[in-house]
Structures are given as C-alpha cells and as structure tokens.
Amino acid sequence: MVLDFVVPSPQGTSWGLGGTCVNVGCIPKKLMHQAALLGQALCDSRKFGWEYNQQVKHNWETMTKAIQNHISSLNWGYRLSLREKAVAYVNSYGEFVEHHKIKATNKKGQETYYTAAQFVIATGERPRYLGIQGDKEYCITSDDLFSLPYCPGKTLVVGASYVALECAGFLAGLGLDVTVMVRSILLRGFDQEMAEKVGSYMEQHGVKFLRKFIPVMIQQLEKGSPGKLKVLAKSTEGTETIEGVYNTVLLAIGRDSCTRKMGLEKIGVKINEKSGKIPVNDVEQTSVPYVYAVGDISEGKPELTPVAIQSGKLLARRLFGASLEKIYHTLFWPLEWTVAGRENNTCYAKIICNKLDHDRVIGFHILGPNAGEVTQGFAAAMKCGLTKQLLDDTIGIHPTCGEVFTTLEITKSSGLDITQKGC
C-alpha cells in the first residue's frame, strides 16, 4: 500500500501522485527553463539570419497550462503503474498510533486504520518559511510557482540555494524583472568558484542581487493577480534597512523534513530534533527495526549536506596534509554561442584528480549548456575508474562542449592563463 497525501501549501497549492520532482521540482523547473532558453534562441536567431518584425512576447498562462497538462499525464502514469503492480493507493495522510498500526486520514477527515509488518517512510521535504510578518499570507514558494495561474511580474527571490537561482534564472529568461536577496553566500556547500561564476553570469543577464540582506516584514499594498507587496529588509552586517515593492515574493531559503507530525514518537523512531531528519543504518533501518526511511529525510544521505562535509574534508587535507589532488581546468566558448555573439570565457570546466591513485578523476565540474547531459556520461565513466590518462586518450566528439574534457592541460596550481582566444 502507498499512502500519498499532499498537505496544501499556505497558498492552497496541492498536486497529484509522484512527489516533489514530478510535480513541483525537476520536471516543471526544466520545462520552464526550456521556455526561457527558447526566448534566448529567438534573440540569437537574428544573428543566424532569421528576420522577423513582429513583437515577441511570452504568455505565462499558456506555458503553465502546457506544463501542468504534462504533469497530469505523469501523475496518471504513476497511478496506472501502481494498479498494474497491485499496489493499493490511498490518498490519505498517514500517522503512527501504535506499533505496526497507522491511522490514515483523507481530505474529508475520514479516518481508517491499517496494520503492516514493515513500513517505509519516504515523505521528503517541503519549503521553509521565514517566520516573519506576512510570509505565509503573501509569499509563494517553489510549491506554488509551477502552477501559478498568473504571471508573477516583478519578482523578489529570497534565498541563494540552487532552487532560488534556478527559479530566478528562468523567470528573468522569460523577460521578468527579477531580484535575488542573498543572506550570505551563493550555493552554500557547492564549489564556490563555480557558484560565483553562476552569480556573475546571472547578473550579466539581467538578474539583480541584493547581498547581505534578509526580509523582516512583508506587507500587501494591493490585492491582485499579481498584487503589490512591500518588503522591508535589514542588513546582516549592520543597521541599514531597505524597502522594495514587488508583485511577487518567492521564498527559496531551504527545505524541512516532513517527519514531525506522523506519530514517530509513539513508536520510538528517533529523529534529529534540530533537522527533523531520521538517522538510519547502512540498510536504511531506523531505530525501530521494522521501520525504514529513504530519501531526503534520511540523515547523512545525499541531498546537499554531504557535499559540504566532503568539501570540509578536502579542505582539511589541503591545509594540514600533503595535497593528494591535482586540478585541471579551462574556460571554453560553445560553438553555438560564437555567431550569436554571446560571451566568451564564461563557460568553465574543471576536474579533480587523485595523484596517489593514477590521477583517478574524483571530482567533475561543468558550467555551460546541457551541463546535465554532459555530466551523466562522465558520471558513469567515473564509476568505472576514469583517469586523466583515459580522458587524454579519448577522441573528442567535435564540435561539442563535452570534448573540452579530452584536452585539459592546465593545472590550477600552475597559474597559467585559461582564457580562450578563438572557437
């Protein structure tokens, strides 16, 4: 049996079967990103000889309707899959009441009790709120954005996570006025060289950044779709305060585990009180042997935290021990960007090799078009023990962005210039 009940967001948004990624994460995000890329392609097309005079504009409602129709088809596909596998699907909220027994409450408030020998908790996370006046009343999160029935207009994105920057990026790409309010640094836990390059690229393409500020109050000036909101923010480094007026405020300040309102304490499943995450052993068992936990709610499992931990280990090794890593890097210019006159020396590639293990590739970074597609292939190669020598022995598929990894020559420690002079 699968229990899958989405508690509506403070703005009332809910969705169907499939979890965060399908409904309010990767899928709609990439489709909105694609919409923004198509707008960029329209701009580039003139330089490739396309001539058009009519005013080009974007229709938010058309885009969201098409995306939501696609998501609905995915929801239905998952429903059919469960049915084909004889899995009982119950759209109810599950809560432990005693050992091996749960209460399931549907949207009408009707309660049903079920027992099982084993349970798997895979409840994921939901966006965090600021805890200030007006946040839940007037702000939206990524839970709301992808099915927002109106164009958000002038938008303030609060946060510096990948969710914040991805949303800011495609909103700006659709032609909206976008500002990102950053408390401290961009993309905490990620390679900071890459993070700052992402930030500077976004600034060059029209995204404004308010650094070292946090909101303290949000007031509604006008109702509407969208309305108008006044945001009062204060400096994190002094007493300065600023005000701004926006149509939409999008919060992307992190996510919290959905573990606190499901009766875990009644059966003795331990959770980290601060984070809400559930400690598990090597086989995903919780402190109660018949209860397992998987996904973002599992403590110490891949989300973003392990990236930060690994970065800390590598830093300690570099600072206090002999360096075991060698870093090769280069800037590059995608062929598609040359004729269009888009900026050279913006895209960046970097690998990290373990000198004590035949220069085995242990880290891989790429900043450029189709980065996800490029990374997927190299991820498989790294699982197979990819070395710098193997990369050097590989014939590049020309002209592609990925071929840059077959010709890396300059190490960071050499300090040599990596800027590109031609294509």
pLDDT of residue 414: 87
Question: CB under 8 Å to 160, separation ≥6 — which residues?
Answer: 180, 182, 183, 184, 185, 186, 187, 188
Among 33, 70, 329, 398, the one annotated catalytic: 398
Distance from C-alpha of 27 to C-alpha of 271, rounded to nearest angstrom: 30
Q: Helices 162-173 and 26-45, interaxial angle, to 10°?
A: 40
Distance from C-alpha of 403 to C-alpha of 408, rounded to nearest angstrom: 9
CATH architecture for residues 322-414: 2-Layer Sandwich (3.30)
**Tokens representing residue 271 in the block:** 């959770």
Give catalytic status of residue 398 as yes or no: yes
Q: How many CB atoms within 10 Å of residue 154?
A: 17
pLDDT of residue 303: 57
pLDDT of residue 323: 64
pLDDT of residue 306: 39
pLDDT of residue 64: 95
Domain boundaries, the chain: 2-126+256-305, 135-254, 322-414
Q: How many CB atoms within 10 Å of residue 61?
A: 11
- Name the CATH topology of 2-126+256-305: FAD/NAD(P)-binding domain (3.50.50)
Distance from C-alpha of 184 to C-alpha of 199, rounded to nearest angstrom: 13
pLDDT of residue 298: 85
Q: Helices 26-45 and 60-84, interaxial angle, to 10°?
A: 140
Please name the helix (run of DSSP H) or strand (run of DSSP E) that holds residue 204, with its range, or none. helix 192-204
pLDDT of residue 310: 42
Query: Which CATH superfamily is 135-254 part of?
Result: FAD/NAD(P)-binding domain (3.50.50.60)
3-state secondary structure of 121: strand
Q: Do domains 2-126+256-305 and 135-254 have the same CATH topology?
A: yes
Q: What is the pLDDT of residues 96-107, one digit of tens each?
A: 999 999 999 999
Asked whether the beta carbons of 209 and 187 are under 8 A apart, the reply is no
Number of residues that make up the chain? 423
Q: What is the pLDDT of residues 6-43, one digit of tens each?
A: 999 999 999 999 888 889 998 899 899 999 999 999 98
pLDDT of residue 55: 82
pLDDT of residue 397: 86
Distance from C-alpha of 52 to C-alpha of 196, rounded to nearest angstrom: 36
**Tokens representing residue 401 in the block:** 């962005």
Task: Let me know the angle formed at the C-alpha of 124 by 117 and 107, rounded to the nearest 5 degrees.
Answer: 75
Q: What is the pLDDT of residues 195-233, one digit of tens each?
A: 999 999 999 999 999 999 999 999 999 999 999 999 999
**Tokens representing residue 257 in the block:** 């585990």
Asked whether the beta carbons of 411 and 325 are under 8 A apart, the reply is no
Please give the span between the terminal C-alpha atoms of the chain, in angstroms, as a whole number: 56
Distance from C-alpha of 198 to C-alpha of 185, rounded to nearest angstrom: 12
Which mean pLDDT values do the consecutive 10-residue runs of the chain (423 residues) have?
Answer: 94 93 90 93 92 89 93 92 91 96 96 93 92 97 97 98 96 97 95 95 96 97 97 96 98 94 96 93 85 86 44 44 80 81 89 93 94 94 95 86 91 87 51
Nearest by Cα to 141 from 13, 4, 26:
13
